[in-house]
Amino acid sequence: MGLLRSEAMKHGMLVLPVQDARRYIDKVGKETNIQFDDMNASHGYRRPFRKHVDRINEMERIIRFMVEELSRIEGCELTTQRVNEFLAADGSIKMDDVEGELARLYKQFSRFKENDANLQGERNKSVEEQQVVRAAIKMMGGGVSSPGGLEKPLLGDEDRKLGYLTGVVPQSDEVRFVRALWRASRGNAYTQLTPIQQSVFDPKTGQKVEKSVFVIFFQGAVGAMKDKVVKICQAFQVNMYTWPSSVNAAQRTDNQLARQLADNNLAIQACHDLVRAESSELVAPSPDNPKGNSKLEEWRLFCIKEKAIYTILNQCQEGMALRCEVWYPTADEKKIHALLKEGRSEHDSQGAFLTPDKMAAKSMAPTYIKTNEYTESFQQIINTYGIPGYQEANPALLTVVTFPFIFGMMYGDVGHGGLLLLVGI
């Protein structure tokens, strides 16, 4: 038949023992071409293995979380795209073992993520406060000692004392922040901004944020004006810090923050080293399959395969055994019988068997066309436009000849057009 038309298909009933149904589906699905009809389509709630699918969905969620976390760690790259090696050695992976290990890793990496966010938050506060202090030193006269900071009234009157608030604002919000302060104070508040040279890492978004130190000056240390300024700062969710009272106090705070920042960096580095050590086992190949994918990728492929198996089992009708209507190529019938017989162990009182279904099939026969490494690509081109019907003539045979010819003409047009372009230039 080849590429001329689809293979002749046969309709039958596959009967599986409940306790070994998964093993039979795994073996038949891996080595033969067979299509299962959903016998529970009219009764969607009759899914005997729904709990298994729910467990696999949870495992896949954890794997996606782990892959995202590993992508943030430098040097932790997963080895993927080795599906054949996985299929050759996936019998060593057990669902209960993978589920337990993933649950443990999820708790562990969630704790790592929370600890890292806390450490990064403490470090950011140290960096921002240090920049505020250094801005204060610069504004109050650098290294020259000052008897008093901004606490001293400008004109010797406590009522005319200059009020101020300091903090750090993202540079992306600077314009809106200054405009809001100007409008709320009706021009009676002055804001001075000093860009921070060192960017701050945001643990929530995983991105570096550029920020600036702001100092807001307004008349009156207390009163309605200060309340307005505080409300605007709270609305923009900016971090506010204490302004030093003098240059000497600012220098002492700067030295203290420098030591604190060094301790924060050491704690963050230790946390990252611990996460990298725990991740090394996940990115390395499994000991049972040293030439395969990374361990986490093996688990992901295992979940995909197991989910496909239990989805098929959910299409079977329950009873003394599981029954499901199937379509299979007539030429593969003997092979399917041999696989079912081979899969039966000595301790099985009842094995799996395939019987021809004498009843009229409820579904249309599927289209199955055999391809090889050369004709597969041409068949995919035909399938993008439409899959031929059962026993319908397959145009892929003509495409093997016509497509390279038309493709060559297209490149010829490009070459001709390119020469005309060069002449025109």
Q: Longest Cα pair distance anywhere in the chain, in angstroms?
A: 107
Mean pLDDT along residues 364-375: 86
The CB density around residue 377, as the number of other CB atoms within 10 Å, is 13
Q: Where in the chain is the domain with CATH 3.30.70.120?
A: 150-243
Question: Using 50, 70 and 90 to split pLDDT, how confident is the model at 4?
Answer: confident
Confidence (pLDDT) at 14: 92
Question: Using 50, 70 and 90 to split pLDDT, how confident is the model at 178?
Answer: very high
User: Cα separation of 230 and 241, whole Å?
Assistant: 12
Confidence (pLDDT) at 147: 41
Confidence (pLDDT) at 142: 58
Mean pLDDT along residues 207-222: 84
Neighbour-count burial of 130, counting CB atoms closer than 10 A to its CB (0-12 exposed, 13-18 middle, 19+ buried): buried
Whether the pLDDT of residue 30 is over 70: the answer is: yes
Whether the pLDDT of residue 369 is over 70: the answer is: yes
- Residue 355 in tokens: 């019987």
Question: Using 50, 70 and 90 to split pLDDT, how confident is the model at 256?
Answer: very high
User: Cα separation of 165 and 146, whole Å?
Assistant: 20
Residue 401 CA, distance from chain mean position: 43
280-296 pLDDT per residue, tens: 889 998 888 888 899 99
Instruction: Select the more confidently predicted residue: 182 or 46.
Output: 182
Confidence (pLDDT) at 160: 55
Confidence (pLDDT) at 346: 53
The CB density around residue 147, as the number of other CB atoms within 10 Å, is 8
Whether the pLDDT of residue 148 is over 50: the answer is: no
Question: Using 50, 70 and 90 to split pLDDT, how confident is the model at 154?
Answer: very low
Give the Cα-Cα-Cα angle 329, 340, 299 (nearest 5 degrees): 90
HEC sequence for the chain: CCCCECCCEEEEEEEECHHHHHHHHHHHHHHCCCEECCCCCCCCCCCCCHHHHHHHHHHHHHHHHHHHHHHCCCCCCCCCCCHHHHHHHHHHCCHHHHHHHHHHHHHHHHHHHHHHHHHHHHHHHHHHHHHHHHHHHHHCCCCCCCCCCCCCCCCCCHHHCEEEEEEEEEHHHHHHHHHHHHHHHCCCEEEEEEECCCCEEECCCCEEECEEEEEEEEECCCCHHHHHHHHHHHHCCCEEECCCCCHHHHHHHHHHHHHHHHHHHHHHHHHHHHHHHHHHHHHCECCCCCCCCEHHHHHHHHHHHHHHHHHHHCCCECCCCEEEEEEEEHHHHHHHHHHHHHHCCCCCCCCCEEEECCCCCCCCCCCCCCCCCCHHHHHHHHHHHCCCCCCCECCHHHHHHHHHHHHHHHHHHHHHHHHHHHHHC
Confidence (pLDDT) at 155: 45
Question: Using 50, 70 and 90 to split pLDDT, how confident is the model at 107?
Answer: very high
User: Cα separation of 425 and 423, whole Å?
Assistant: 5
Sheet holding 211-219, edge to edge: 189-195, 211-219, 162-170, 239-241
Confidence (pLDDT) at 302: 93
Whether the pLDDT of residue 388 is over 90: the answer is: no
Whether the pLDDT of residue 259 is over 90: the answer is: yes
If you compute the radius of gyration of the chain from its CA atoms, what whole number of angstroms results?
35
46-77 pLDDT per residue, tens: 788 999 999 999 999 999 999 999 988 888 88
- Mean per-residue pLDDT over the chain, rounded: 85
Q: Is the Cα torsion angle 387, 392, 396, 401 positive or negative in sign?
A: negative
Question: Using 50, 70 and 90 to split pLDDT, how confident is the model at 2?
Answer: low
Are the C-beta atoms of residues 78 and 296 closer than 8 Å to each other? yes
- Residue 267 in tokens: 């704690």
Question: Using 50, 70 and 90 to split pLDDT, how confident is the model at 101?
Answer: very high
Give every CB contact of residue 15 below 8 A, 6+ residues apart in sequence: 321, 322, 323, 352, 353, 354, 355
Whether the pLDDT of residue 347 is over 70: the answer is: no
Identify the CATH class of 150-243. Answer: alpha beta
Mean pLDDT along residues 30-48: 85
Residue type for 188, please?
A: N
Question: Using 50, 70 and 90 to split pLDDT, how confident is the model at 161?
Answer: low
Instruction: Select the more confidently predicted residue: 399 or 410.
Output: 399
